[in-house]
Amino acid sequence: MSISIIPIGRCFAGEVSGVDLRRPLSPETVAAIDSGMHEYAVLVFRGQDINDEEQLAFSRALGPIESSIGGNITRLDQRRLGTDIADVSNLDQNQNIYARDDRRRLFNLGNRLWHSDSSFRAIPAKYSLLSARSIPVNGPNTEYADMRAAYDALDDKIKAEVEGLICEHSLTYSRGQLGFTDFTEEEQQTFAPVRQVLVRTHPVTMRKSLFLASHAGTIVGWPMAEARIFLRDLIEYATQPQFVYVHHWRLHDLVMWDNRQTMHRVRRFNETEDIRDVRRTTISSDGPTTAQATN
Ligand code: OGA
Ligand code: MN
């Protein structure tokens, strides 16, 4: 069995075949997956009936695992999964579907806003790997937007304007859009804003991309309102259909994306009735995208 990758969808994603993620992969296969990620930025592996350990082993072959602590407001004693896995499901620690007013459910609704994973951390995410262990029959889809193509299509005037800009990202900004204002002291500390460049350059391909996310709430040196509306305009522009791959989930899909080059969002579904058990492992990127403020 040897690995091959072919384009899927209307634009930039790739589908991988010839790989069994339950087994250790050769260094050559891992290297082929990495270069596939550089080219496509979203890769789909079908038919991967894996468990948490197998997902973690595959993820570790790709780089350091990001701890999921600090990424949502789940208390440690309320966790269903280990701390190396982000629980993106609608299930509580007893495998019951969250009640409609459960704060964890409401917080996770933020995944319906376009975002890049962990852009609210000083060292943001590189790859995310999302494994579908149980999914509703009729979706929801997850959508991915190509921030390289969006950058390339900017006119020169906007390219010059965004070059060198620094944004501040925080979960308080993204969740603030959903009406969350009641953060505890501890949450406010955990979610303190971090700085990220707005234009990133991929370290291997050297392609530029827009580093946008719902978590971005300010542009350093800009009046707040002007920054917010500019970021909103950019996100609207960068997520037009010509830049978007829509993933239609099948059971045991594993979808992997490069957060440095894409944004994503999940669509609405009947989540107080249908079980959706999807689990994410996350690979850290190499370092901060900009020097952090020392306040
Ligand atoms: C994520 C995420 C989308 C989904 O895991 O980071 O945003 O399809 N998930 O659940
Ligand atoms: Mn996400």
Domains of the chain: 4-284 (3.60.130.10)
From ligand 1's centre to the CA of 280, what distance in Å?
8
**pLDDT over 90 percentage in the chain:** 91
Residues 270, 136 contacting (CB under 8 angstroms): yes
Query: What residues pair up with 282 in beta bridges, in sequence order?
Result: 128
Q: Is the pLDDT of residue 113 over 90?
A: yes
Does the bond joining 140 to the residue before it have cis omega, within 30 degrees of 0?
yes
The CB density around residue 203, as the number of other CB atoms within 10 Å, is 10
Question: Distance between CA atoms of 276 and 136, rounded to whole angstroms?
Answer: 6
Atom 3 of ligand 1: nearest residue by CA position: 266
Residues 237, 120 contacting (CB under 8 angstroms): no
Q: Which band of pLDDT confidence, cut at 50, 70 and 90, is reported for residue 10? A: confident
Question: Distance between CA atoms of 40 and 59, rounded to whole angstroms?
Answer: 18
Tell me the C-alpha to C-alpha distance, in Å, between residue 152 and each of 207, 222, 257: 9, 24, 19
From ligand 1's centre to the CA of 52, what distance in Å?
16
What does the pLDDT read at residue 226? 98
Residues 23, 48 contacting (CB under 8 angstroms): no
List, for residues 194-205, the tens digit of each pLDDT value. Answer: 999 999 999 999
**Atom of ligand 1 lying closest to residue 276 CA:** 10
**Atom of ligand 1 lying closest to residue 117 CA:** 6
What's the one-letter identity of residue 163?
A: E
What does the pLDDT read at residue 294? 47
Is the distance from the beta carbon of residue 281 to the nearest atom of ligand 1 less than 6 Å?
Answer: no
Question: Distance between CA atoms of 90 and 271, rounded to whole angstroms?
Answer: 7
Residues 283, 30 contacting (CB under 8 angstroms): no
Is the distance from the beta carbon of residue 165 to the nearest atom of ligand 1 less than 6 Å?
Answer: no
From ligand 2's centre to the CA of 107, what distance in Å?
12
Pairing of strands 42-45, 216-219: unpaired
Q: Which of 70-74, 87-91, 186-190 has the highest mean pLDDT?
A: 87-91
Atom 6 of ligand 1: nearest residue by CA position: 117
List, for residues 253-293, the tens digit of each pLDDT value. Answer: 999 999 999 999 999 999 999 999 999 999 999 999 997 75
Is the distance from the beta carbon of residue 130 to the nearest atom of ligand 1 less than 6 Å?
Answer: yes
Minimal CA–CA distance to 110: which of 84, 131, 86? 86
Is the distance from the beta carbon of residue 90 to the nearest atom of ligand 1 less than 6 Å?
Answer: no
Sheet of strand 13-17, all strands in order from the earlier edge strand to the far edge: 4-8, 13-17, 42-45, 254-258, 125-134, 277-284, 86-87
Atom 2 of ligand 1: nearest residue by CA position: 111
Residue with tokens 């010839």: 18
Pairing of strands 125-134, 254-258: antiparallel
From ligand 2's centre to the CA of 1, what distance in Å?
31
Phi, psi at residue 18, to the nearest 5°?
85, 20
Q: Pocket of ligand 1, candidates 84, 105, 278, 283: which has the most ligand atoms within 8 Å of its Cβ, to mutate?
A: 278
What does the pLDDT read at residue 72? 74
What does the pLDDT read at residue 114? 98
What does the pLDDT read at residue 73? 64
The CB density around residue 137, as the number of other CB atoms within 10 Å, is 6
* 183: CB partners within 8 A, 6+ apart: 172, 191
Is the distance from the beta carbon of residue 266 to the nearest atom of ligand 1 less than 6 Å?
Answer: yes
Length of the chain: 295
Q: Is the pLDDT of residue 5 over 70?
A: yes
The CB density around residue 270, as the number of other CB atoms within 10 Å, is 12
pTM of structure: 0.97
**Atom of ligand 1 lying closest to residue 249 CA:** 8
